[in-house]
Amino acid sequence: MNKIKVLIVDDSAFIRKLLKDILSSDREIEIIDFARNGKEAIEKLMKNKIDVITLDIEMPLMDGIDTLKKIMLKKPTSVVMLSSLTKNGADLTIKALELGAVDFITKPSNIFKINDSDMKGLVIDKVKMASGIKPDNKSYSHKTETIDTVKNDFNKNLSKKENKDNIIAIATSTGGPRALQNVISNLSGQINSPIVIVQHMPAGFTKSLANRLNNMSSLYVKEAEDGELLRNNTVYIAPGNRHMKFKEERNNIKIILDDGEKVSGHKPSADAMFYSLCEINIKKIITVVMTGMGSDGSKGLQKLKELKNNVISIAEDESTCVVFGMPKSIINLGLADKVIPLDYIGREINKLMGRF
């Protein structure tokens, strides 16, 4: 059996030892080497065959972001970031995902909890998942200064309009931040619909994701808040560890953030979002299921399409998925009306909304 060859990069000897013990406990994983900083990591990567790198965000000499850039330039390799639960850590993690990291692991506030069985299983699963992903060093460029100016002026007017005509609901997981960057930045600033998003991500990171996307879009992108009304030309991202649901209130639709149990193994859950859409009256629903492991979204979408005849569903094509799990499930169940590569999803939504 060919083992998954891992390089552990962290400036803390304690963390390096913990990760070694966790990953070595799985027979399919082999620790090839360690590095204390980015400079060492690049040197050891160039000398060895490495399948996956675990990379700390904050390190001396060369931090995780600069190291990641060099990895993707010199020898693209699947990278799983190690991030702290701080605003700076979250911001840097979102940037790392844009630059090509396939996923991230959050360091617990009490570092000794990294040895908990659930945490150990998560670390092993993420490394195994990363080993099956072909690294991609493609990056996207955006004229954020021009976009911000248009967006700020535009939202003084149309974004104040509540909506009961249309809704665009997007679900994604592994590889999602980069996919969302592509789609959201290509949507018309006059889409005249709210966009609601479930991205599988822990608490503390979705606000950074929303802020990052906000700087790349002509739409207003924010982390969803409990009780707020859906407005046109606004993108709402479900907060980590909260389900995003909806409730009709007079002539408006209100966001309800639910702190209940996981649905389909996730919180936030795409299934929970789609189930909730079954309960509201709206003229047109466009659903988009993009890259991600597992099948979250398929059960909810199946029920939504059974109950309503005004749903148009899009699945991301396998050719552009980081992980072809969630879209595959949608396609296999016959729920996808359109199967589209990532670069064309934004313009297809514009077309469906009459915004060419």
Write out the catalytic residue numbers.
173, 200, 296
Q: Where on the phi/psi map is residue 32: left (φ > 0), alpha (ψ -120 to 50), or beta?
A: alpha
C-beta of residue 173 within 8 angstroms of C-beta of residue 326: yes
Q: Where on the phi/psi map is residue 346: left (φ > 0), alpha (ψ -120 to 50), or beta?
A: alpha
Cα gap 12→199, rounded to integer Å: 30
Cα gap 297→198, rounded to integer Å: 10
C-beta of residue 290 within 8 angstroms of C-beta of residue 349: no
User: Cα-flanking dihedrals φ and ψ of residue 24, to 5°?
Assistant: -70, -15
The strands making up 284-289's β-sheet, listed across from edge to edge, are 220-223, 234-237, 195-199, 166-172, 284-289, 311-316, 338-340
The strands making up 4-9's β-sheet, listed across from edge to edge, are 29-35, 4-9, 52-56, 78-83, 103-106
Q: Which helix (H) or strand (E) holds 167?
A: strand 166-172
| Residue 314: partners with Cβ closer than 8 Å, 6 or more residues away | 286, 287, 288, 289, 336, 337, 338, 339, 340, 345, 348, 349
